[in-house]
Amino acid sequence: MAGFNTRAIHVGSEPDPVTGAVNPPVYLTSTYAQDGVGIPRFSDYSRVDNPTRAALETCLADLEGASHGIAFASGLAGEDALLRTLAPGDHVILGNDAYGGTYRLLTKIFGDWGVTISCVDLSDLDAVRASFAKSTKMLWVETPSNPLLNVVSIKDLAAIAHEHDALLVVDNTFATPFLQRPLTLGADVVVHSTTKYVGGHSDVIGGFVATNSDELATKLKFHQYAIGAVPGPLDCYLLIRGLKTLGIRMERHCSNARAVAEYLSGHDAVERVYYPGLATHPSHEVAASQMSDFGGMVSFTLKGGAAKARNVCEMTSVFTLAESLGGVESLIELPAVMTHASTAGSTLEPPASLVRLSVGIEDVDDLIRDLAQALS
Ligand SMILES: *Cc1c(COP(=O)(O)O)cnc(C)c1O
């Protein structure tokens, strides 16, 4: 099999057979001419299928090592389509520092529908085992997690989920298939917010679900067109374009993040640094065993508490104060009141003085100089 970067550039994007165009055309069409009644050449309607969307799905599924990939209009739309395979009364186990939007979707939307959840510390395998009920259908894992960057063993959690006839779902948004391929480690489903590293330029919202299960893929494809939260062809093209440089961007995100984490670790104003690449990180060993590098996200707490954290977020100039992550530009934010505000009062609420960085691919000296002046 060809290497990651070769596949990211070529799979699904063969030169157009008619014109030789090296990029997949952006098929801005809602419908398709039919050769006879009920005999469409490609599909009957673009909500059902679109060639630009298909090119994206083929490429990203290949990179995840999946036989099926289904694209959605956002990460949460993909999660919604997946969760709709549950029935009222079903139970889901979620890591206790999951993405706030996933928690909100499960509690505020699927909660009303009769789905129940338990939030557990996924690094405590006994606690994970103990939280299974007869009705548990999914174990939902984010690794590295957001915003504390905990890393948990996908292999161990897959074994526990399968003992209980539940699916292991891995949100692979932070790692991307360049650093980690959950399906090869035993996961049943991978979900992505392609808004983040896959797109990589903070210019598109998208989601993706990948699986090797024919049965689950059939349900997801049905949900994709029956519910209709599909990405448009231009968005799909931006994601295809992003994928082509995913590998080289991730290498730079990782090396910059490591340098930033090391710098912060030695800074007097910093209380604790959360980066799985640091040997002092509690899950460094697990991370090294299942990821090829440690990613571009770094979080840290400040000795001066929430007020100091807020001040640092407002004092940077290369790091932009904004939610989201995974773009070429560096971002800084305060999870407790920004990305994770919806977890207030729950076990998922992050420390008040926690600052989260999405370390971009700028020159690392500029990033460190910017943090130095903001921390002073
Ligand atoms: C952003 C994000 C999501 C949600 O994706 P959207 O594209 O914003 O809908 C889900 N999981 C993680 C880990 C994320 O960072």
Tracing tokens 């009769």 back to the chain, one arrives at: 114
Mean predicted lDDT score pLDDT of the chain: 96
The amino acid sitting at 191 is V
Nearest CA to ligand 1 atom 5: 75
- The pLDDT score that the predictor gives to residue 296 is 98
CA distance 35 to 235: 29
From 83, 99, 140, 189, the mutation candidate for ligand 1 (largest count of ligand atoms within 8 A of CB) is 99
Sign of CA dihedral 90, 96, 100, 102: negative
- The pLDDT score that the predictor gives to residue 347 is 77
Q: Is 47 a catalytic residue?
A: yes
- Answer yes or no: do 329 and 184 share one domain: no
- Answer yes or no: do 295 and 198 share one domain: no
- Answer yes or no: do 153 and 301 share one domain: no
For ligand 1, whether the C-beta of 150 sits within 6 Å is: no
pTM of the model: 0.96
27, 99, 263, 275: which one is catalytic?
Answer: 99
Domain containing residue 76: 4-244
- Answer yes or no: do 295 and 333 share one domain: yes
- Answer yes or no: do 268 and 231 share one domain: no
- The pLDDT score that the predictor gives to residue 292 is 98
- The pLDDT score that the predictor gives to residue 342 is 78
- Answer yes or no: do 62 and 188 share one domain: yes
1 C-alpha vs ligand 1 centroid, how far in Å?
30
Q: Report which ligand 1 atom has the smallest distance to the Cα of 142.
A: 13
- The pLDDT score that the predictor gives to residue 343 is 79
Region 348-360 average pLDDT: 94
- Report which DSSP code applies to 14: P
339 C-alpha vs ligand 1 centroid, how far in Å?
10
Token digits for 215? 């049965």
- Residues contacting residue 19 through CB under 8 Å, at least 6 positions apart: none
272 C-alpha vs ligand 1 centroid, how far in Å?
25
Q: Is 171 a catalytic residue?
A: yes
- The pLDDT score that the predictor gives to residue 100 is 84
- Answer yes or no: do 252 and 238 share one domain: no
Q: Are 181 and 191 in contact (CB under 8 A)?
A: no
Q: Is the pLDDT of residue 219 over 80?
A: yes
pLDDT category of residue 340 using cuts at 50, 70 and 90? confident
Q: Is the pLDDT of residue 7 over 80?
A: yes
pLDDT per residue as tens digits for the range 111-155: 999 999 999 999 999 999 999 999 999 999 999 998 999 999 999
For ligand 1, whether the C-beta of 74 sits within 6 Å is: yes
- The pLDDT score that the predictor gives to residue 348 is 78
Q: Which is more confidently placed, 138 or 98?
A: 138
Q: Is the pLDDT of residue 325 over 90?
A: yes
Between CA 224 and CA 233, with CA 18 as vertex, the angle to 5 degrees is 25
- Answer yes or no: do 290 and 354 share one domain: yes
171, 188, 235, 370: which one is catalytic?
Answer: 171
- Answer yes or no: do 142 and 71 share one domain: yes
- Answer yes or no: do 35 and 144 share one domain: yes
Tracing tokens 């995974």 back to the chain, one arrives at: 326
Q: Is the pLDDT of residue 93 over 90?
A: yes
Backbone angles phi, psi at 291, to 5 degrees: -120, 150
CA distance 45 to 236: 16
CA distance 46 to 55: 14
CA distance 107 to 101: 10
55 C-alpha vs ligand 1 centroid, how far in Å?
22
Where among 244, 259, 284 does a domain terminate?
244
- Count: domains in the chain: 2
For ligand 1, whether the C-beta of 193 sits within 6 Å is: yes
Q: Which is more confidently placed, 193 or 100?
A: 193
Q: Are 233 and 28 in contact (CB under 8 A)?
A: yes
Region 145-166 average pLDDT: 96
- The pLDDT score that the predictor gives to residue 344 is 85
Q: Is 181 a catalytic residue?
A: no
- Residues contacting residue 69 through CB under 8 Å, at least 6 positions apart: 57, 58, 60, 61, 208, 209, 210
Strands 116-120 vs 167-171: parallel, antiparallel or unpaired: unpaired
- Answer yes or no: do 335 and 296 share one domain: yes
